[in-house]
Structure 1
Amino acid sequence: MVALVIAEHNDSALRPTMLNVIAAAAACSGEVHVLVAGEGCAAAAQDAATVEGVSKVLLAEGAQFAGGLAENIAAQVLAISGEYSHILAPATPFGKNILPRVAAKLDVSQVSEITRVVSADTFERPIYAGSAIATVRSKDAIKVITVRTTSFAAQGKSAAAAPIEASAPISVSTRARLVSKESLATDRPDLTAAKIVVAGGRGLASRENFEQQLAPLATKLHAAVGASRAAVDAGYAANDCQVGQTGKVVAPQLYIAVGISGAIQHLAGMKDSKVIVAINKDPDAPIFSIADYGLVGDLNEVLPQFTAGL
């Protein structure tokens, strides 16, 4: 059995979470190949070749893969899928955009957001917003899997690089094309890979307060900034900051929740954090049920004192 990992990258290097996906792939199969598809992404392929457990890197370069266009990358995966028993990608917007297309074309059932590999055909995954864990056995010849990266330890680097092999890029006839791509420039750590996350909720009351209260604390701690769905929907924070069942799943060393009540949908995205600190004026807020440390008080008074004391 050979597992294929679809790499998420920025053309020059793999995204840090890919090390966790490769760890999951190694648990599924004794041999792991990584597909790096993009335009001018040879450096990312070289980075993938140095990851422990990777036995081969397939490099598919072409303008049709620019920006990670899902329609074209899925077609590239399908072209080589017959050689693999498992096809894996991270449970990020990148993986969630590509793998359902692959599963549909292969006529197999996708196994989504696995948190543990029991055996080559059996996996654990959360259900009911993480309130329960289901054990799923797939009878499909090719297992198509998205990985909840926070549940797997990252693979290390290998002294010997795996061989890089050119994968003939498919010619596509899709009418989908990349029109534009906007990225937020920030000097803060990536939310899904950060060791410390400071997250704000609806209790911050405004976008201005969100930025003025959280930014100094995040800067002092060299932390990423997250937000609850309520805060994003209210316009306090960008959608890219959302943590939760319909946002990003994080598991940092330290998670500080400010003005977040702790709805089950939010807890599903951060409850695996190693240490959770909650600041909320409501002593009965659900967030306190999972917090390691809780502080009841008005965040407008407490947070400046908390920041100043660091």
Structure 2
Amino acid sequence: MTHAALHADPPSAIDKRAFRNALGAFTTGVTVVTTRDAAGRDVGLTVNSFNSVSLEPPLVLWSLARSAASLQAFVESEHFAVHILAADQEPLSNRFAQRGADKFAALDLERGEGGIPLLPGCAARFRCRTAYRHEGGDHEIFVGEVLGFEAFTRAPLVFHQGGYAVAVKKRPAVPKETDAADASISRDALVYLLGSAHAMLLAALRPALAARALCDDDYFVLNILSVGVPRSVDELDALMALAGRRVTAPQLAALAQRGLVRAAPDRPGAWLLAEAGTRAMLEMAAVAKAVEEDALQQIDYSEAHLLKHLLRRVIRNTVKGGQPALWPAAS
């Protein structure tokens, strides 16, 4: 055992911030706990202190600060619900972490025991009866008997070191195959992997592009203009360069002649999508989504989210002279 492990400060000497940071090393799920107060108002808040207690009987627990405005509602109510948030519910977590907001506005609620509100779209939710309450320092600990639950096939939202994170399953290690080609070309090289993935995804789009008489470069130009921001040839060229492509004034003129793009009325030299171009890109968006979903088979939401996040970081880290913005800066 190390000296650090043996060292023990008296409770009064522990730095609260450092203690909180150390606790942040433990990755937790993110939940929203809801109930209904004595006046029939819906109450809810974001909580990451949720834990299972027992399988038989089925018991769970969570804790609430004694200073919380919602404490009385949970003390007086016989029932509550715990919602384990899905990876795409970060906005919902932020909403229920606020004070004073109408947290339930525009939500498609269901109702559980005692009229408690049940939130949609979560990874799992547990409908509970308050079985016990215990004092735990500056928090009240609620132990709930699970009366019923729903589990959905959604990746969970997690919290680590003071921020949201994505949980990605570790897959069993696959024995690495070696052959003569590996001696000269590393198949793990990022440039090889990215190039292969790009080529295969684009190849899957080409039949739909050909049916609309569009080449790869046409598709990239129309895709940039689909944001709805007028772009000059130079601006389009800078954005196209991120994909290793170029655009010229004659190319824009050819697209305009086909009715796919039009001159921006309020900005000379800039271009926008025309009606036919908008229609073509809406159709291609559906095709691209189908291609993406096919490519992401057996890859869950968290892994796909992390993949896109890391690719954006790779682009930012490798682009020279600053990355052109697809969206203009807010004024």
TM-score range (shorter-chain normalised) is under 0.3
Q: Which has the higher helix share?
A: 2
Compute the TM-score of the two structures, normalised by the length of structure 1: 0.20
